[in-house]
Amino acid sequence: SYGQVRKATRERKSDHLDKLLAAHAISLEATLVTNNERDFAIYPTLTIENWVKH
């Protein structure tokens, strides 16, 4: 998963840790809970949820 995420986003400047977190959540088909929706919105198959807004 990480390789696919890195390849798909190689032109975008983002933190490698964000890519690892996104890849892990995608591989588990899990929802990533974060207040940083903007940076994670670039991953089309990643489901994110912001608990701060709720």
| Residue range 3-45, pLDDT digits in tens | 877 777 776 666 888 889 999 999 999 999 999 999 899 888 9
- Residue 54 forms part of a structural domain: no
Per DSSP, the three-state class of 49 is strand
* pLDDT of amino acid 3: 80
Under the banding of pLDDT at 50, 70 and 90, the label for residue 2 is: confident
| Distance from C-alpha of 22 to C-alpha of 41, rounded to nearest angstrom | 10
- Residue 23 forms part of a structural domain: yes
- Residue 38 forms part of a structural domain: yes
Do residues 50 and 40 touch, judged by C-beta distance below 8 A? no
Assessment of whether the complete model's pTM goes beyond 0.85: no
Do residues 36 and 30 touch, judged by C-beta distance below 8 A? no
- Residue 43 forms part of a structural domain: yes
* pLDDT of amino acid 14: 65
Per the structure, the count of domains in the chain is: 1
Domain span at residue 36 reads 2-49
* pLDDT of amino acid 21: 93
- Residue 45 forms part of a structural domain: yes
- Residue 12 forms part of a structural domain: yes
Do residues 22 and 46 touch, judged by C-beta distance below 8 A? yes
- Residue 7 forms part of a structural domain: yes
Residue 50 has φ and ψ, to the nearest 5°, of: -110, 105
- Residue 13 forms part of a structural domain: yes
